Amino acid sequence: MRKRLYTGLLSLIILLSATSCEKWLDVEPRTKVKSDELLKTEQGYKDALLGSYTLMTAESLHGRELSFGFFDALTKFYEPSAADYKDLISNSSNSALYTLTTVKPRIDQFWNGLYNVIANTNNILDHIDADKDKFTGNNYAIIKGEALALRAFIHLELFKIFASNDVVSLTQPAIPYVKTLSTNVTKASTGTEVLGYIQQDLTDAATLLKSDPILKGQKKSADAFLNDRNFHLNYYAVKGLQARTYLWQGDYTNALEAAKEVMTIGNSVFPWVKPENLTVSDNKSKDFSFSTEHLFALSVFKLPTITNNWFTGASVNNQLYRKGHTTSGTSTTYFYEGLFENTNTVTTGATDYRLVSISMPGIIPADATTTYYMNMKYYQPAGYNAQYERRIPLIRRSEMNYIAAECLLKLNDYPTAVGYLNEVRQHRGITTDLSSSLSASSLRLEITKEYWKEFQGEGQFFFYCKRNRTEGVQIPTQATSTGAWANYATTFSSANWILPKPDAEIEYNK
């Protein structure tokens, strides 16, 4: 890695005392201290790890761009009226898109910011074994396990953005897998090597996290550090991340096994969102992000301000929304609603919570011929229920069903795959099950539909399309009156699936 990425690495974020906060990550940075001072105590290691999580909440990373920003714009979840995202939404066919001055600096921030999280995490891993006697209870194993998992998580994010999983690309240099804090250059590993390193870190993390209290169903604890385990890369989040990584490797048997381990305990540890918590009329009591299903989420202190700037309180030039339908005479053209299979002739999606509970219609002034919708997943009303607030999910329970379904599609067990999709649909308010006799192509389309509906605001649909671009997966923009996906962003440039590394990195790491 470039030396410049480590500017300020030895200054780690210290969080406010746990005794003053119910959520460890629901705090603002207060001060910074030198690394050698920070890692003198167990508390210092806790603070350093939580500081790494907090770095991820920056708007340039998962606090906006890597969740509801950059990649959701690329997959056309928004109208091109939002000035800051107009180039991404409108110019996906432009092979020079990523060189534009409105786009390239953001991509450089992904690279630099994510490697900075890795550097801070590696600083923990470089010291923790020598300091093992400083820890009480199971905290050594838990902190080291989380740090390894976080290093793996971030490297997978980088791989997904800057590399590819096709057969040729996996044999070529992908990204550097950085395992220690150093100013020395780490040469890029091949894609196959990177995914292997990720799996090794996750295997080691899972072993260490056998002492995670979440294995006993505990997400709450008197110890503030062990409280709210789904705000940490807990044991089951690691298994979910293993499933995601195996899927990128094309190892469908192991991906299925890891996903099923999470699914088996789902109801007891990560229960499906309750319908009454979505249909309640008072927004302060509505679980917009389906929080009970989060395997791993970030608590973003500034989320109320962030979402106000881009959604409900945003200026006309910034507001992110999607056209629902347009009517001209007796003819109606369907967009957002139609892609949920809710039109004048089909109502399969009319009860889908993702449409009726967390998508707000009529969000901007419009005439009677047009409707617009805004995604309310991150809406933070005044007085919002503390159990739901300030959350951005990074791994959720439903993804395990989708991974299992995709694996079974590849392993030719279509009926069981359909069953996993139907389980999610039933818990999203859809009363019409998919047929167990779907063909392979129809099953692939239904998996794609679910990814599109489920992961709006989370940046995942782009990467699903990228991973499956040889399978005929496309980005939808319009539906017929029967709810069939009819218009796709077929002009998406093949060159734009892999984002360019910073110029300095390319020059220095030839």
Per-residue model confidence (pLDDT) at position 240? 98
Residue 16: its pLDDT value, please? 33
Higher pLDDT, 496 or 36: 496
Helix axes 397-410, 414-426, angle to 10 degrees: 160
DSSP H or E stretch at residue 268: helix 252-269
Per-residue pLDDT at 29: 40
Question: What percent of the chain shows pLDDT beyond 90?
Answer: 78
CA distance 503 to 96: 15
pLDDT at residue number 241? 98
- CA contacts within 13 A on the Cβ side of 174: 28
The rounded Cα 295 to chain-centroid distance in angstroms is 11
Q: What is the pLDDT of residue 195?
A: 98
**27 pLDDT band (50/70/90 cuts)?**
very low
* DSSP assignment string, 108-168: HHHHHHHHHHHHHHHHHHHHHTTTGGG--TTHHHHHHHHHHHHHHHHHHHHHHHH---STT
CA nearest neighbour of 400 among 289, 260, 270: 260
Predicted pLDDT at 506: 65
pTM for the full model?
A: 0.93
Residue 7 has pLDDT above 80, yes or no: no
pLDDT exceeds cutoff 60 at 403:
yes
Nearest Cα to Cα of residue 114 among 176, 173, 157, 65: 157
pLDDT digits (tens, 9 = 90+) for 43-66: 999 999 999 999 999 999 999 999
Between 493 and 141, whose confidence is greater? Answer: 141
Predicted confidence (pLDDT) at residue 237 exceeds the cutoff of 60 = yes
Strand 322-328 versus strand 476-479 pairing type:
unpaired
| Over residues 177-184, mean pLDDT | 92
Q: What span, in angstroms and rounded, lies between the C-alpha atoms of 413 and 407?
A: 9
Cβ proximity of 144 and 33 under 8 Å = no
Please name which of 201, 175, 180, 35 lies closest in space to residue 119, comparing C-alpha atoms.
Answer: 180
Does pLDDT of 244 surpass 90?
A: yes
Calculate mean pLDDT across residues 423-448. Answer: 97
Other beta carbons within 10 Å of 267 = 10
| Distance in Å from the first CA to the final CA of the chain | 11
Region label for 367, one of left (φ > 0), alpha (ψ between -120 and 50) or beta (otherwise): beta
* 440 pLDDT more than 90: yes
3-state secondary structure of 396: strand
Strand pairing class (359-361; 11-14): unpaired
Cα 50 off chain centre by: 19
Structural domains of the chain ordered from first start: 3-299+389-491 (1.25.40.390)
User: Do 258 and 244 contact (CB within 8 A), yes or no?
Assistant: no
**CA 87 to centroid of chain Cα atoms:** 22
pLDDT > 60? residue 28: no
Q: How much is the pLDDT for 91? A: 85
22 pLDDT more than 50: no
Closest CA to 344 of 330, 359, 356, 358: 330
Is the pLDDT at 36 greater than 90? The verdict is no
Residue 268 backbone class (left: φ over 0; alpha: ψ -120 to 50; beta: rest): alpha
In 360-439, alpha helices (H): 397-410, 414-426
Q: Name the token pair of 154.
A: 């971030």
Pairwise CA distance, residues 138 & 279, whole Å: 41
Share of the chain above pLDDT 70, in %: 90
- Averaged confidence pLDDT in the chain: 90
Structure-token pair, residue 207? 């072993």
The reported pLDDT for the residue numbered 507 is 56
